[in-house]
Amino acid sequence: MNTKKSKNFERELPEGYEIVFHIDAKKKKTGIILNSVAFAISFALGIAMLSVYIVAFMNRESSYFGILLGLLIGEIGTLVYLVVHELTHGAAYKILTGEKLSFGLNWSCAFCGVPNIYVYRKSLLIACLAPFVIYTAILSASIGICFALLAFKVVESTFSLTVIYTALCTVFAMHVGGCSGDVFVGYLLLFKFKDKNVLARDTGPEQIIYAVKKQTNEEKI
């Protein structure tokens, strides 16, 4: 076993730990809440980005047909992105732990996890936020370039740029909404569970975070 990788996880939960956070997307109520939040974020962001385009460029050659075509391509692109998103989680876990991964799809989410080990806080934080950080940067840059090409009239025909811009905005909106659960867990790790010894079991749809149990006064004596 790679000793560096083994420092990123434990095979068994050490003594003295307690559960401090538990979320299971397989549960009906939890799954509905998570998907409702993701949809609301994606919808609001998508509308905002398309509104900017319509206000800025709709008086040009570009048409509503270009927007509709871009939306369709964007939805198809989102399915591809979903696979890439989970593979990115998996790549991060594989690099950090070298352990067997678990991929799947259920009614509430697509997922990737490492169910047979307990990963330390740093590993979970990296694997959890990797897709959000990487693809937010890539998609933001792509949208920015496309917007600049439209704004400065670099090309005569704007139809193709309309399709590309709309498709990118669709994927970006779905990306941000879909990452809401990852970002929430990342927030907890960054601001609430700061101890480097925090451990987590990530099966994919279910995440359990453990922290070292605090000693009572009696236990200290």
- How many structural domains compose the chain? 1
Whether residue 8 is contained in a domain is answered as no
- Percent of the chain, pLDDT > 90? 77
Please state, in angstroms and as integers, the Cα–Cα distance from residue 200 to each residue in 23, 112, 163, 185, following that order.
11, 14, 42, 11
Residue 220: its pLDDT value, please?
A: 46
Buried b (16+ CB within 10 A) or exposed e, 114-124: beebbbbbebb
Whether residue 195 is contained in a domain is answered as yes
Residue 56: its pLDDT value, please?
A: 81
Which residues form the domain of 153? 16-220
Whether residue 11 is contained in a domain is answered as no
Whether residue 56 is contained in a domain is answered as yes
Residue 31: its pLDDT value, please?
A: 95
Whether residue 4 is contained in a domain is answered as no
User: Which has the closest alpha carbon to 189: 214, 211, 212?
Assistant: 211
Question: Is pLDDT above 50 for 89?
Answer: yes
Give yes or no for a contact between 118 and 22, defined as CB atoms under 8 angstroms apart.
no
CA-CA distance, 162 to 98, in Å (whole number)?
Answer: 43
Residue 221: its pLDDT value, please?
A: 43
User: Which has the closest alpha carbon to 167: 84, 61, 69, 79?
Assistant: 69
Whether residue 139 is contained in a domain is answered as yes
Give yes or no for a contact between 174 and 39, defined as CB atoms under 8 angstroms apart.
no
Give yes or no for a contact between 16 and 213, defined as CB atoms under 8 angstroms apart.
yes
At 47, is the pLDDT very low, low, confident or very high (cuts 50, 70, 90)?
very high
CA-CA distance, 3 to 101, in Å (whole number)?
Answer: 19
Whether residue 10 is contained in a domain is answered as no
Question: Is pLDDT above 70 for 4?
Answer: no
More confident residue, 2 or 97: 97
- When the pLDDT of each residue in the chain is averaged and rounded to a whole number, the result is 91
More confident residue, 53 or 77: 77
Question: Is pLDDT above 90 for 197?
Answer: yes
Give yes or no for a contact between 104 and 204, defined as CB atoms under 8 angstroms apart.
yes
Predicted confidence (pLDDT) per residue in 200-221, tens digit: 999 999 999 999 998 654 444 4
